[in-house]
Amino acid sequence: MSQPEGVDRREVMRRAVYLVGGAAALATFDAGHAFAADVPAQFFSKPRLVLLDAICATMIPKTDTPGAHEVGVPAVIDGMMTNWANDGTRMLVLGALDMIDAQAQAEKGKLFADLSPTDRLNVLKRFDASALSMGDKGYSQLKNVILTGYYLSEPGATVELRYIHQPGAWEADIPYAQIGRAWAVG
């Protein structure tokens, strides 16, 4: 079976911290969403979970619809890292998270999660543009799982976008206004 976060000592210690403080960390999630409240993190250490949550909330914020934090994307990604990713992918994603924190430290002298919402957005925006232009695999994967976790969540697919499991018909040419949002699944 999959192992949490590799084997180096630093990670083992972070995980030990998380095992003690995990429930408290998860209590900060919006209790109205099952994913956020009920699933304990298995893969991420507490500091990285806080970082990931801050990145998710910045990447897909709450607007007139729930954002990635509200629909519990961090827990979904934690599950994917545990059940899907191999060690190489895990290290890539962890590396991207750490790079974002490093960028926050370099620009603002603080951890990403400790920045104001405006500073988070500016730091992530610059990081995103730079990492994508350089073909950073770790960040591409991180952005991939955040967007996938959000847009294929029930609120992401049906409140933010549109999804009908059983359309029952194919209407090949209709006014866009009749749907008004993108289909979550093409």
Partner 1 sequence: MSDAPDFDAIVVGSGMSGGWVAKELSEKGLKVLILERGPNIVHGTDYTDMLQPWEVENHGRVNEDEVARDYAIQSRCYAFDTATKHFWVKDSDHPYLMSPEKPFYWMRGYHLGGRSLMWGRQTYRWSDIDFEANLKDGHGVDWPIRYADIAPWYDYVERFAGISGNAEGLAQLPDGQFQPPMDFSIVEQEVKQKLEAAYPTRKMTIGRCAHLTKPTDEQTALGRIICQFRSLCERGCTFGAYFSSLSATLPAAERTGNLTVQPDSIVHSVIYDPVKKRASGVRVIDANTKAGRTITARMVFVNASTISTAALLLNSKSEVFPSGLANSSDQVGRNLMDHVSGMGASGDYPGHIDRYYFGRRPNGTYIPRYANVTEPADDFVRGFGFQGGALRGSWQRGIWEPGVGASLKAKLRNPSGWTMHLSGFGEMLPDPNNRVTLDAAQIDKWGVPLIRIDAAYGPNELKIAERANQDAKEMLERAGCVNVNVHKRDDGSPAAPLGYGIHEMGTARMGRDPKTSVLNEWNQTHDVPNLFVTDGACMASSACQNPSLTYMALSARAANHAVEILKQGVIA
Nearest CA-CA partner of 102 in 86, 84, 124: 124
- Count of residues that interact with partner 1, criterion CB under 8 A: 58
- In the list 13, 27, 31, 179, the residue contacting partner 1 (rule: CB under 8 A) is 179
- In the list 16, 27, 102, 132, the residue contacting partner 1 (rule: CB under 8 A) is 132
Could you write out the DSSP letters of every residue in 96-154?
HHHHHHHHHHHHHSS-GGGS-HHHHHHHHHHHHHHHHHTT-HHHHHHHHHHHHHHHTSH
What whole-number distance in Å separates Cα of residue 99 and Cα of residue 101? 5
Closest approach, Cβ 17 to partner 1, in A, equals 26
What whole-number distance in Å separates Cα of residue 14 and Cα of residue 25? 13
- In the list 79, 99, 110, 137, the residue contacting partner 1 (rule: CB under 8 A) is 79
80 or 111: CB nearest partner 1: 80
Closest approach, Cβ 39 to partner 1, in A, equals 13
Q: Does 144 bind partner 1 (CB under 8 A)?
A: yes
Q: Does 105 bind partner 1 (CB under 8 A)?
A: no
Nearest CA-CA partner of 148 in 134, 166, 161: 161
8 or 64: CB nearest partner 1: 64
SS3 state at 184: coil
What whole-number distance in Å separates Cα of residue 32 and Cα of residue 89? 31
Query: Applying CB under 8 A, which residues contact partner 1?
Result: 2, 58-61, 63, 67, 76, 79-80, 83-86, 88-89, 121, 124-125, 128-129, 132-133, 140, 143-144, 147-149, 151-154, 157, 160-161, 163, 165-179, 181-186
